[in-house]
Structure 1
């Protein structure tokens, strides 16, 4: 890692990561040219980079992939979790090669260019991961210039000036602008996604979009629900106008305390109806805030598709997909919030349920995409509560 006072790039370097601490990480740029500022985090998933890049929960973040061969299966129009990518950039070990997968329709480099996302290859991603683990997720600027010329002092100043994710409400930036219905189901090989497969007689679910992943909606449909998606800022009256049987709180980016300023009062009113509620990731944190708990910024966060979570009811271990930099402080949960899941990596809370209301939530992503499917039963549990 180099001195930021020098703007001279090493021979062949067309990309750089400038950290707010003053360190430089030189590499080879790919994808779009330009620069982006955000939080640098790492993801340990071995597959699913396209789903990760399009996950709205990664808004404001630059992803350091620990798996070295990112881009080797190309991209396709099916493996997306939102219409556009939300992660700012991708840092990878190996240069992106030509795709070698029968489902590929576009080179990862071309896809990154088309979507205005910056890539950096040739990086010692293990060393960068160790730095994040020891020092926490840093702020930084990822930059790509085919000429190899960079204004390092200006990039360094931008990295230092960026305030970080604490206090940022990013759900408003990624949420839908208007309500819509969703009725597509799960994907199968050779058939794609099950179009128009919602149960016309199924219970009605309103899903609050803080940055929702499409596979969450598909799992709700597969479990038998009818789904309407509403913006993150939807009022209680907006939600009740759809006459829902249950409320779903989605994943999303940013600081939950900031999003909670407008979301928590709505959730508290919903809890008074005693109708079922299910939350995932940011939605889990929103429910925690609504019942009086607090959330905290994690040192490095949890991001990957191989995180072990213990289910406290029977001791079973679920291998889960995770993506979060904030967590519910378990010590602040009220007496009517019973912990249901805990991380086996660090003991942080990964789920709780209310003992006096039909409401529960989990910190991890049972819909996967990418990741294991150990926790799909939670969608069936929720929809089952709506019908009982």
Structure 2
């Protein structure tokens, strides 16, 4: 086993900077928070039977569907909204995502925050100028907005060390604008004035993101670790159908991604792959993890990415897969990731680990078709 692991490490260490850039772009490449205006359903990115499903017009057809997207840590914003709609308070929402951490309700409010490019404001004014959640999310006395205000305030105080250093104004930190957002958001900030999550007496770095796909990963900061959480009323048994993010209306809960953040699609108008294209990805997996070819040539065919990728026929001559006829539902682990996916192919039954399939998929799938999350499924028509 040690030898096999070493062999895989050797192959993957030879990925070019261009390939690593490609893999990172397909796994990321979009806004990780909801922002001021929630995203709409992207045409043709929905699962079969959904309102935004588009039939590709061929059979069999395969598509990778991701549950949520990076970074899947901290508070899920759509999950918080779903919890608010189910009757949970801001305190309950914060406890669910950040665990048994102290919520201090009388933290000093006279701390000044320096925002890059905008000057200095006091912490409460700063939070009123954060544009990370729609003001329309007022369910249950604006519980989600209140939880977001506490998370934003805590994050800013932790990031700046109580105002000692500055903070950026983009989504790399938190989206900040020059004017107060107003309305229900300002009211939520006022209602939670001085509320800060603290660990060992210091503000806790309260991460949050749009959609975790029904499972949030724990993370550690300042001697506190947040929980690994199946974000449903009944744990993994309630996933995916009872996920709070579905109740919150997330358009990213289960999605087939095929466009870049700017809207480029390399000529693809949906995420569906032909039998031969799915087999091509399995051949890429073969080269990446079992050898027999040049790892540096595993990248998408076509003009969008350039380089010198294997042609479909060249890769098939190495990997041995020429078609895929069916795929079984993915096997999911208790840790919120896809364990394995099993395909019926021209070369027999093949089971591939989720981690390896995601890497091969993102390096070889055409255009911007990609898997954003380690929790995913391969659908078949």
TM-score, normalisation: structure 2: 0.29
Q: Which has the higher contact order (CA 8 A, sep 6+)?
A: 2
Larger radius of gyration: 2
